[in-house]
Structure 1
Amino acid sequence: MSIKETLQKDLTEAIRGRNEITSGTIRMVLTAITNEEVAGKEARVLSDEEVITVLSREAKKRREAAEAFETAGRTDKAALEKSEGEVIAKYLPAQLSEADIAAIIAEAIASTGAQGPGDMGKVMGAVKPKIAGKADGGVVSALVKAALNK
């Protein structure tokens, strides 16, 4: 069963169970997936990897919104965004720890022969496919930058 089919099945269950946060969040995610499918010159069906990319983007939006609401003192809205993020996280692959990311980065630096900060693009190009959907890009970028500045 694809991730999209799982989302649709879980949406039906959430509606039946009258779980408003889960059903609303899954609806938003399915809308984002549909928008991605119809974007471009012709409609297509997204693969599970592409669906994970959309889910990662939506989860990042929720994290950033929660931080913004907390900064503004709106803890009620921040809690809602966090709970939506938790619903989305159920459909994402397990997130890598910083140690795992650092090991992948070290391997990429060795394989690309990167020498310093100027080679960040090479390293990120090698790392991205291995961590797609499993880690926040900002964290990975910061770790790559730190590793190359040593």
Structure 2
Amino acid sequence: MQLRDKVTAAIKVAMKERDSERLSTLRLINAAIKDRDIAARGEGREDGVGEDEVLAILGKMVKQRQESVRAYEEGGRIDLAEQERTEIGYIEEFLPRQLDEAEVDAAVTEAIAATGASSIRDMGKVMGALKSKYTGQMDFGAVGPMVKSKLG
């Protein structure tokens, strides 16, 4: 079952259960996917976005909410921070399991070997290989410095 189908099914369940908080977040996910579909059609891709792009959308939504949590906590708005954490939980239900540090390290080492990267100039190749294989499973903002240190 594709992610967008899982989201649609979850929306129906949330409606039946009258879970307005979950429903609101699921509708935001659906709207983000549809916005990206419209943009893709404008670029000439009639079938809209694929699974990888949907994963990227969900990852971006999680990252936005994590930033909001930090901002709310700094501002002393713990209630709003908790609401954002709840939304993160709803979104993460659709993301694949996050890799732990050892798995990320092994994936980086494997990607460096697979691309034949030998210097910092090859970082783009390595990151591209990781993104194509592990979208939604790791934080690429944290992986970048790791790749840099292994190549540098």
Deviation at 1:126, TM superposition (A): 2.3
Q: Normalising to structure 2: TM-score of the pair?
A: 0.88
Runs of 4+ in 1 over 6 A off after TM superposition: none
> Residue 2 of structure 1 corresponds to which residue in structure 2?
2
Equivalent position SS for 2:107: helix
Give the gaps of 5 or more residues in structure 2: none
Q: Is the 8 A contact 2:3 2:51 kept in 1?
A: yes
Q: Is the 8 A contact 1:38 1:44 kept in 2?
A: no
Whole-angstrom CA distance in 1 between matches of 2:145 and 2:21:
33
Whole-angstrom CA distance in 2 between matches of 1:52 and 1:122:
20
Q: Normalising to structure 1: TM-score of the pair?
A: 0.89
Deviation at 1:4, TM superposition (A): 1.1
Q: Match for 2:23: what amino acid? A: S
Give the gaps of 5 or more residues in structure 1: none
Structure 2 counterparts to residues 76-115 of structure 1, below 5 A: 76-115=79-118
Q: Deviations over 1:33-52 (max 9, x none)?
A: 00000014255333222221
Percent pairwise identity: 36
CA-based RMSD: 1.7
Aligned length: 149
> Residue 23 of structure 2 corresponds to which residue in structure 1?
23
Report the more deviating stretch, 84-93 or 68-77. Answer: 68-77
Equivalent position SS for 1:39: helix
